[in-house]
Structure 1
Amino acid sequence: MTEARVSREALTHIELIWHRQQIEHWIRFGRDVQEQILDRRRRILSFAPNSIVAYVRWAAGDFGTIVSRIDILRTVRRGEGFSTVPYVRPGGEILLRASGWPRVERVLQAIDAAEGIGIDAADASPDHWRHVHNRLAAGQAPRLYSYAAHRAWLLRRKIEA
């Protein structure tokens, strides 16, 4: 199924919000196929099924940051099970979930490391993001994504297709 043929109902919609210094929701990586501008501060990006997306949410109060969160999701096909995530419709398969600035920063560093070797983080293996999630949850440093791991992922995906 090509992106042009995906119906709006089959897409995953993520609402982005930008109130400077108050609340900021943005996409760190992912390939949107549609954009809907709601107003100056809000828009909705839509993603095709089986896309990998990093969604960051941050909010501040009178005394500093109150929420820092990142979710790396695989968008689902119609009829697949999914987990709900605020501002994501219908939801997605959660590959990684981190909250609190120190953990969010470590995830952002893992994304930067993958991109630093020339691999778009949206193309990285979903298993890598699960690995990063599990290692951070255990208080350990995740392994860096490598060309060898990426090549293995591409070959496995080719075989499964």
Structure 2
Amino acid sequence: MTGNAAPRVRGGPVPSALQSDELTHVELTHVEKKIEHWVRFGRLAEETVIDRRRRIFAFRPGAIFAFVRWASNDFGTIISRIDIVRAVEPGEPYQTLPFVRPGGDTLLKIDGWPRVERVLRHIDAVQAIGSDPEDVSPDHWRHVHNRLTAGHEPRAYTADQHRAFLLRRRAEP
């Protein structure tokens, strides 16, 4: 960036609070039957409304969230994708991802509506056992990614696995 020009987000300047903080920002867009970006789960730190079709969600470092993107044209769906991402600490390496700034640690990335639906059903199953998807072990989301990528059904996440993960996380220094 040169001079005093503010960075732009598709047609409008980014609010100054979003330019230099330590949060991970996700740009959401909703244009009926054309573009739909939404967050399926995740604990928000901030929300900024840009206009009636766009908003920016921000997540603290370490937060896990699911970002869904769907778009179509006159001939049908052109993209359907879900990414489960861990927001990174400043200075930590990350993968870039469209509409996510600066990027994040990608735990799962799946495209194609039938497989995206399977991930959404898996998230519903995690919630059905009383667990918040953002609190699930990151290794489980990697497992779901690997199994679906290989064309297999992922193993269910159980309440016992969740308790063990939470205990292990509390025991870590």
Amino acid at match of 2:29: I
Alignment deviations for residues 18-59 of structure 1 (CA, whole Å, 9 cap, x no partner) = 001000000000011101111110000000000000000000
1:106 matched residue in structure 2: 118
CA distance in 1, matches of 2:49, 2:63: 21
Q: TM-score scaled to structure 1, two decimals?
A: 0.94
Aligned-partner SS, 2:155: coil
Deviations 1:113-158 (A, max 9, x none): 1001111111111111000000001110000110111011101111
What is the aligned-residue identity percentage?
A: 60
Does residue 25 of structure 2 align to residue 25 of structure 1? no
- TM (normalized to structure 2)? 0.87
Deviation of 1:159 (Å) = 1.3
Instruction: State the SS of the aligned residue for 2:21.
Output: helix
Structure 2 match to 1:46: 58
Partner of 1:148: 160
Aligned counterpart, 1:57: 69
Partner of 2:131: 119
Residue 73 of structure 1, aligned match among 71, 74, 85:
85
Task: Tell which structure's C-alpha radius of gyration is larger.
Answer: 2
Count, aligned residues: 155
Which runs of structure 1 show a deviation greater than 4 angstroms over 4 or more consecutive aligned residues? none
Q: Determine which of 8, 16, 24 is the counterpart of 2:28.
A: 16
Matching residue's letter, 1:11: L
Distance in structure 1 (CA, Å) of the matches to 2:107 and 2:164: 19
Q: Which amino acid aligns with 2:61?
A: P
- Give the letter for the 1:28 counterpart: R
Structure 1 unaligned blocks of 5 or more? 1-7
Letter in 1 for 2:90: R
Q: Deviations over 1:102-122 (max 9, x none)?
A: 110111111011001111111
**In 1, distance between residues paired with 2:168 and 2:130?**
20
Amino acid at match of 1:15: E
Superposition RMSD in Å: 1.1
Aligned mates of 1:40, 1:17 — CA distance in 2: 9
Structure number having the greater helix percentage: 1
Structure 2 Cα separation of the partners of residues 149 and 63 of structure 1: 43
**CA–CA distance in structure 2, aligned partners of residues 159 and 135 of structure 1:** 29
Partner residue in 2 for 1:83: 95
